[in-house]
Homo-oligomer: A and B are copies of this chain.
């Protein structure tokens, strides 16, 4: 039951916005009484927090080469953009909608952003990139930038643009990409 409530809340919150969806709407959508919903979640705020916590999915660990994993992120992004229900990053949207004052929600959003940055960083470290921290941050900018742009433009190709930029940044850091050969001894050299 709790999961049914959560998945319905997830769908409606993400699709229409948190403030735009009332608890009555959620209960009615499932076909349960409002009382039942409040028996599982003491307040809407806790339901919102649970919704965001449920969106906190770890990045998949795979055996593929790190560079492929990194660039594969943008392929998954593009598929996500093209899928029907895509409506931007739920964490960014929540902070944008609910404001910065709500610390509990902002903390979840920060934790998610940071977890993805660290995922990038670890892969970059495996690749021997010198400034893995900085480059990981830059990659997250491309990710969130393409998400924001797709949200307003509804243009999945933004993911590909981000991927191309990521390739350049990776190559500049000495990572071999797409069979390109790159040396990185003091002066990086990009061969396209």
CB A187 to nearest CB in B, in angstroms, measures: 5
CB A124 to nearest CB in B, in angstroms, measures: 14
Check A154 for interface membership: any CB of B closer than 8 A.
yes
Taking a contact as CB atoms closer than 8 A, the residue among B144, B146, B190 that contacts A189 in the complex is B190
- Encode contact with B along A92-105: 1 for CB under 8 Å, 0 otherwise: 11011111100000
A96 B99 Cβ-Cβ under 8 A? no
Q: Taking CB as reference atom, which chain B residue is nearest A152? A: B109
A100 B113 Cβ-Cβ under 8 A? no
Alpha-carbon separation in the docked complex, A19 to B16 (Å): 12
Check A143 for interface membership: any CB of B closer than 8 A.
yes
B147 A164 Cβ-Cβ under 8 A? no
Mark the stretch among A23-31, A35-43, A62-70, A83-91 that contacts chain B.
A83-91
Q: Taking CB as reference atom, which chain B residue is nearest A113? A: B152
Check A53 for interface membership: any CB of B closer than 8 A.
no
CB A127 to nearest CB in B, in angstroms, measures: 16
Tell whether A162 pairs with B187 under 8 Å between CB atoms, given A92-B96, A113-B152.
no
Chain B residues near A189 (CB-CB < 8 A): 187, 189-190
Can you list 14 pairs linking A and B with CB atoms under 8 Å apart?
A19-B19, A92-B96, A96-B97, A106-B152, A110-B152, A137-B158, A138-B142, A138-B164, A141-B141, A141-B146, A141-B165, A145-B148, A165-B165, A172-B190
A residues adjacent to B (C-beta < 8 A): 15-17, 19-20, 87-89, 91-93, 95-100, 106, 109-110, 113, 134, 137-138, 140-149, 151-154, 158, 161-162, 164-165, 168-169, 171-172, 187-192
